[in-house]
């Protein structure tokens, strides 16, 4: 899951101590509760509306590569 990826990255300390950053990344996990036909759109909304800070981009990229697939 994405938590293991965070632990292996340089973002672990930020994730552990920054509640706002945790909240931002949990938007990615929330896509699991979106109907399948809307997952891509929900992911684009989260990523396209600056919901997740630029510092979280490596996690967004991992999530996209692993769970969403590359969007054009």
Average pLDDT of the residues in 19-46? 92
pLDDT score recorded for residue 71: 61
- Assess whether pLDDT exceeds 80 at residue 1: no
Provide the pLDDT for residue 19.
Answer: 95
- Looking at per-residue pLDDT, the higher value among 5 and 28 belongs to 28
Q: Where in the sequence is the domain holding 28, given as residue range(s)? A: 2-68
The number of folded domains in the chain is 1
Which residues are CB-neighbours of 68 under 8 A, at least 6 positions away? 31, 39, 40, 43
* Sequence-ordered list of residues with C-beta below 8 angstroms from that of 24, at least 6 positions apart, any chain: 51, 52, 53, 56
Q: State pTM to two decimals.
A: 0.78
The pLDDT of residue 67 is 85
């Amino acid at each position: 899951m994405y938590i293991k990826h965070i632990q292996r990255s340089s973002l672990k300390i930020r994730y552990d101590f920054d509640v706002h950053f945790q909240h931002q990344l949990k938007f990615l996990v929330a896509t699991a509760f979106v109907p399948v036909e809307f997952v891509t759109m929900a992911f684009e909304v989260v990523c396209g509306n600056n919901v997740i800070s630029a510092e979280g981009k490596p996690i967004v990229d991992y999530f996209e590569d692993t769970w969403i697939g590359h969007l054009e």
